[in-house]
Chain A
């Protein structure tokens, strides 16, 4: 993880350095301007009057202490700015993961077990539609139906606890749940036709045991791999969902930071994202090994 983190931060540092414009001026917004004295004060505070390698050195030294610096725009520690936002995005990501795994895996399993039935056709059509619909359309539609018209769930924000989470999580998880449903269906159909499943059935095991204990367990491996690989996309989609539902997460912070050249926030979000992404994939690899001993590390 250390190598990935250092590599990512170096690439990012260089990319941000070559961007045109003066970050200290850009973060003030279009309507305000720093005078020479204020600019010099801030440049010294953030080491922007030093060379890029020295700036990177300051960043690494701070990172070793768990300090991600100070936002140019908000003049508050990056850890403070991102702290609550990370928690918010984590809630959203976990909610979306639950939606996509539970709904997706269940729909895919039912579809596979009832191959060529009405349910199978319904799941196939629904998942095809869900994959094709942009996430913002799903979000706005859900808002309109469940918040504006039916008043069943909050329109936006995070003030109502779990109720507030439902619409954003379903929105974010919808597309991935469709992908997982298709993946589960294909994987389960493949496994159901394999020799060891036929053997288990021939031994007289109940169909439920054959499916749950033998077939589904093995077919979960590609799904977990997809969840791990798709986690980055989930974080990307979170920015859109956070915008629609006024959900203050890191996605929104990143969008604002990029547009205002608030580089410490950009680097901070990427640093956290790398840590989370690598950790999630590590967990997924371990889980896959647990589910299928054939791919366990020797």
Chain B
């Protein structure tokens, strides 16, 4: 059973969809390139970047928060957004897997926690062990599930039978050896997850509330000396002068807590009056914001590693038939939804793996993703989706699913029963299989298509709400995990997507989800968003 903190919720995807940008430009820096190829001026140091957050549930990396803990902790590898999806050295400067990808060895470079303690292989073992411990009830522990000994440490019903992680060892302080319970030739990509952070000896167990109030890490930032997390108020970070890599240009980050309710509008207003340096653009203000802030280089469009999609129930009911699923997909006029509701600020999807995946994105894989009402009717008839058929559609209350409902009813002459249970009840209904079609979304945890294909479509995955189960597809996923050759692995990924999406239409891709943000472009330069859709605090600077 998997637990994914990075999953985009149905509600959130609707909000993001509405806030999405139509441009395929991945990101736009607020800075200007040096004219005529001249060497850029050295980045100015100083300044405190002010950003709003909602009150985190925790910031200990073992428990599943990203924005703060990614500033405080750096793991073995990091990802810079390259289209080949290659990991870059972080704490580990070299790493290698055995021929069968069952064992990985990471060689660490010397670096320290901000309290002066050395970061060693034991620091990683400590961090991963406390996160995997069942008593921690971590929401992200499952990212460690591929390591030998996880089941014993985590337990099945809260009663672990081990206290150490048998798959981890440190032959010397600078070498970490990881033994897996099944082959994974992309384990290095997973090591970028916050749950795989090293922690100092003072961290204690994952439910150590003292450590959670001001975690000590090895990242580019640290808690401002003498401060800790001020609940419901904010968090102050400063540059970690002992950081082993290029130090940030900015002196620090001031995170101010905003209540979740009405947050978008309040945060945007606070940005407008100069209380914040960055803000997400609220739904109704996209065009206005674009027009106001783009000329001063303050409007950011960022196409993330994410997608929204319709989830047909492959296991039972009318959607168990592939032709019926294609009929539903062909009946959706994505362009009309984009122009009519999203005001052009969305990108109709034509494949499951989104464009930022570079060489792994196959535009047009989803043949049913183009609007074709005639073909939709033909396939509906062929697939047993007769006029008058009732479909239970689970989605958040929003104009987008309402438009989808009307399109399906009009084109296919069926009855769509749109239901919008509040909060987590929607997800619980989806997980229980009590639906015909649903609306959901996904954001990558790691930069690999495996992180889309297996969780969403693999047999036995806890996130596979569509209940798609295809031995041919599963065999491809197993094969790619044992494949060390990047080109061959890529070929398998593409084939697996063509089978599940192109042929079987197991999921119905709808839109890619760009983030829209505004930043004080007269004050800051180099503000772009990273893989996690967070500002690149590490490289931004004052103008």
Contact of B137 among A41, A73, A81, A85 (CB under 8 A): A41
Question: B9: CB under 8 A from chain A?
Answer: yes
Name which residue of chain A comes closest to B462, CB basis.
A33
Known: A41-B134, A75-B58, A156-B269. A31 touches B4 (CB 8 A): yes
Interface of B is mostly: loop
Question: B38: CB under 8 A from chain A?
Answer: no
Contact at B158–A44, with CB atoms within 8 Å? yes
Name the A residues within 8 Å of B422 (CB-CB). 259
In angstroms, how far is the closest chain B Cβ from the Cβ of A172?
Answer: 16
Contact of B64 among A27, A32, A255 (CB under 8 A): A32
Known: A148-B269, A156-B266, A243-B262. A25 touches B139 (CB 8 A): no
Name the A residues within 8 Å of B261 (CB-CB). 243, 252, 255-256
Question: B11: CB under 8 A from chain A?
Answer: yes
Name the B residues within 8 Å of A111 (CB-CB). none
Contact of A21 among B139, B273, B428 (CB under 8 A): B428
Contact at B12–A36, with CB atoms within 8 Å? no
Q: Mark B127-161, 1 if CB is under 8 A from A, else 0.
A: 00000001111110110000000000011111110
Tell me the count of chain A residues lying within 8 A, CB to CB, of chain B: 48
Known: A38-B138, A242-B259. A25 touches B158 (CB 8 A): no
In angstroms, how far is the closest chain B Cβ from the Cβ of A224?
Answer: 32
Contact at A30–B427, with CB atoms within 8 Å? yes
Known: A36-B1, A246-B259. A147 touches B273 (CB 8 A): yes
Known: A31-B6, A155-B275, A260-B424. A248 touches B157 (CB 8 A): no
Question: A143: CB under 8 A from chain B?
Answer: yes
Name the B residues within 8 Å of A243 (CB-CB). 259, 261-262, 266
Bound CA–CA A246/B431 (angstroms):
34
Contact at B427–A40, with CB atoms within 8 Å? no
Question: B270: CB under 8 A from chain A?
Answer: yes
Contact at B233–A248, with CB atoms within 8 Å? yes
Question: B3: CB under 8 A from chain A?
Answer: yes
Contact at A33–B209, with CB atoms within 8 Å? no
Contact at A31–B262, with CB atoms within 8 Å? no
In angstroms, how far is the closest chain B Cβ from the Cβ of A139?
Answer: 11
Q: Mark A226-255, 1 if CB is under 8 A from B, else 0.
A: 000000000000000011101010001001
Bound CA–CA A256/B232 (angstroms):
13
Bound CA–CA A30/B5 (angstroms):
9
Contact at A75–B57, with CB atoms within 8 Å? yes
In angstroms, how far is the closest chain A Cβ from the Cβ of B136?
Answer: 8
Contact of B135 among A32, A41, A143, A248 (CB under 8 A): A41
Contact at B154–A37, with CB atoms within 8 Å? yes
Contact of B424 among A21, A35, A148 (CB under 8 A): A21
Task: Name the interface residues of B206-251: CB closer than 8 Å to any CB of A.
Answer: 207, 209, 231-233
Task: Name the interface residues of B250-269: CB closer than 8 Å to any CB of A.
Answer: 256-262, 266, 269
Contact at A25–B137, with CB atoms within 8 Å? no
In angstroms, how far is the closest chain A Cβ from the Cβ of B4?
Answer: 7
Contact at A155–B269, with CB atoms within 8 Å? yes
Question: B403: CB under 8 A from chain A?
Answer: no
Contact at B232–A36, with CB atoms within 8 Å? no
Question: B166: CB under 8 A from chain A?
Answer: no
Name the A residues within 8 Å of B9 (CB-CB). 29-31
Name which residue of chain A comes closest to B256, CB basis.
A157
Question: B39: CB under 8 A from chain A?
Answer: no
Contact at B270–A85, with CB atoms within 8 Å? no
Contact at A246–B258, with CB atoms within 8 Å? yes
Name the A residues within 8 Å of B55 (CB-CB). 74
Contact at B269–A33, with CB atoms within 8 Å? no
Question: B343: CB under 8 A from chain A?
Answer: no
Q: Mark A250-289, 1 if CB is under 8 A from B, else 0.
A: 0010011001110000000000000000000000000000
Name the B residues within 8 Å of A147 (CB-CB). 273
Bound CA–CA A40/B270 (angstroms):
42
Name which residue of chain B comes closest to A81, CB basis.
B231
Name which residue of chain B comes closest to A239, CB basis.
B261
Bound CA–CA A21/B266 (angstroms):
31
Q: Mark A28-53, 1 if CB is under 8 A from B, else 0.
A: 11111111111111101000000000
Question: A193: CB under 8 A from chain B?
Answer: no
Name the B residues within 8 Å of A28 (CB-CB). 139, 424
Bound CA–CA A25/B10 (angstroms):
16
Bound CA–CA A81/B270 (angstroms):
25
Bound CA–CA A172/B79 (angstroms):
49
Question: A58: CB under 8 A from chain B?
Answer: no
Contact of A36 among B157, B258, B431 (CB under 8 A): B157
Bound CA–CA A260/B5 (angstroms):
16
Bound CA–CA A85/B9 (angstroms):
28
Bound CA–CA A143/B233 (angstroms):
20
Name the B residues within 8 Å of A84 (CB-CB). 231-232
Name the A residues within 8 Å of B57 (CB-CB). 73-75
Name which residue of chain A comes closest to B135, CB basis.
A41
Contact at B425–A26, with CB atoms within 8 Å? yes
Name the A residues within 8 Å of B266 (CB-CB). 156, 243-244, 246
Name the A residues within 8 Å of B231 (CB-CB). 76, 80-81, 84
Bound CA–CA A143/B2 (angstroms):
45
Name the A residues within 8 Å of B1 (CB-CB). 33, 35-36
Name the B residues within 8 Å of A54 (CB-CB). none
Question: A151: CB under 8 A from chain B?
Answer: yes
Question: A293: CB under 8 A from chain B?
Answer: no
Bound CA–CA A260/B257 (angstroms):
19
Bound CA–CA A6/B362 (angstroms):
62
Contact at B5–A155, with CB atoms within 8 Å? no
Q: Which of B2, B135, B159, B262 has the most CB of A within 10 A?
A: B262
Name the B residues within 8 Å of A244 (CB-CB). 262, 266
Chain B interface residues toward A at CB < 8 A? 1-12, 55, 57-58, 64, 134-139, 141-142, 154-160, 207, 209, 231-233, 256-262, 266, 269-270, 272-273, 275, 422-428, 431, 462-463
20 contacts between A and B (CB under 8 A): A22-B424, A26-B423, A29-B424, A33-B4, A33-B139, A35-B1, A36-B1, A37-B156, A38-B138, A38-B158, A41-B137, A75-B207, A157-B256, A243-B266, A244-B266, A246-B270, A248-B257, A255-B261, A259-B422, A261-B424
Q: For the complex of A and B, list the 8 residue pairs with the smallest distance between their C-beta atoms, beginning with the closest.
A: A40-B158, A30-B9, A26-B424, A38-B137, A41-B158, A31-B7, A248-B232, A37-B134
